[in-house]
């Protein structure tokens, strides 16, 4: 099974580079399933129903999110009718939407995708370790599904690494999102779980984590009136990873970074 996972799409630059490259990447990598984190897709903050639909038209199979998931209120109506968009699993009970879903590939393989949010330097949500344990107690690779993928949305690299090692061997893939900077630690953990601390963003890298440089710098060097951040909207770069999973065991065989676009060095794995 071949899965393409794409990091946080930021604003119009991110949407444009995703739409321009996803179809060719799917063909080149012979992907079975595509996951995209879309929580910054609507002008840098949240996602709308129309953007979700445009992602599906481009070839996305599942959308994960994070702390900005509810910034655009019309996403609530999208969640009522759309099984393919996820919010963090460890939000308090009663939160709209769902944190995980089981999806089928064209060949009939079952993929469990789950979205979890970390707590260090983030919102104080329910315990992500317990949330992952509870889910993995209900669904096991080989018995209930053929692969399990976690998008771990968080600030602290240590927390993401701890979560990955905690479920190593019980999940096929754990990848991090949120910091908008791609890390160089794509590897398969000893138990067979593919891992990367952060996929990076899909957006304009001539920026400060996707926001126009002038406003972001002003927040650091001036005091007084709070400067409104605006997403950078020039040439984008798509960042993510490509994972190959053993169909017999559900464990990862390899994971490699994917980068295509204007700013970072291009890397496209062999299929």
What is the CA angle 238-242-243, rounded to 5?
160
What is the CA angle 60-68-164, rounded to 5?
70
Residue of 43, 68, 165, 178 marked catalytic: 68
Q: Which positions ≥6 away from 145 have C-beta within 8 Å?
A: 102, 110, 111, 112, 139, 250
DSSP state of 226: P
Six-digit token pair at 143? 């018995």
Q: Is 68 marked active-site?
A: yes
Bridge partner list, 111: 103, 147
**Sign, CA torsion 269/233/35/156:** positive
Phi, psi of 145 (to 5 degrees): -145, 170
Q: Which residues are catalytic?
A: 68
């Amino acid at each position: 099974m071949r899965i393409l996972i794409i990091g946080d799409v930021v604003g119009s630059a991110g949407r444009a580079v995703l739409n321009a490259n996803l179809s060719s990447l799917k063909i080149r990598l012979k992907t079975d399933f595509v996951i995209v984190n879309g929580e910054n897709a609507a002008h840098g903050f949240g996602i709308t129903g129309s953007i979700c639909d445009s992602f599906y038209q481009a070839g996305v199979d599942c959308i994960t999110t994070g702390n900005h998931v509810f910034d655009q209120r019309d996403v609530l109506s999208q969640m009522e009718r759309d099984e393919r968009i996820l919010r963090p699993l460890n939000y308090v009970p009663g939160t709209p939407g769902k944190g995980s879903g089981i999806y089928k590939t064209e060949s009939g393989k079952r993929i469990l995708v789950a979205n979890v949010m970390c707590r260090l330097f983030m919102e104080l949500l329910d315990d992500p370790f317990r949330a992952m344990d509870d889910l993995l107690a209900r669904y096991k690779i080989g018995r209930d599904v053929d692969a399990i993928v976690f998008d771990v949305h968080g600030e602290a690299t240590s927390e993401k690494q701890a979560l990955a090692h905690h479920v190593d061997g019980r999940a096929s893939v754990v990848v991090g999102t949120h910091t908008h900077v791609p890390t160089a630690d794509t590897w398969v953990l000893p138990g067979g779980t593919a891992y990367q601390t952060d996929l990076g963003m899909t957006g304009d890298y001539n920026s400060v984590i996707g926001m126009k440089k002038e406003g972001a710098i002003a927040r650091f060097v001036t005091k007084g009136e709070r400067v409104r951040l605006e997403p950078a909207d020039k040439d984008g770069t798509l960042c993510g990873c490509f994972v190959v999973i053993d169909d017999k065991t559900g464990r990862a065989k390899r994971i490699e970074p994917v980068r295509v676009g204007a700013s970072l060095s291009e890397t496209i794995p062999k299929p």
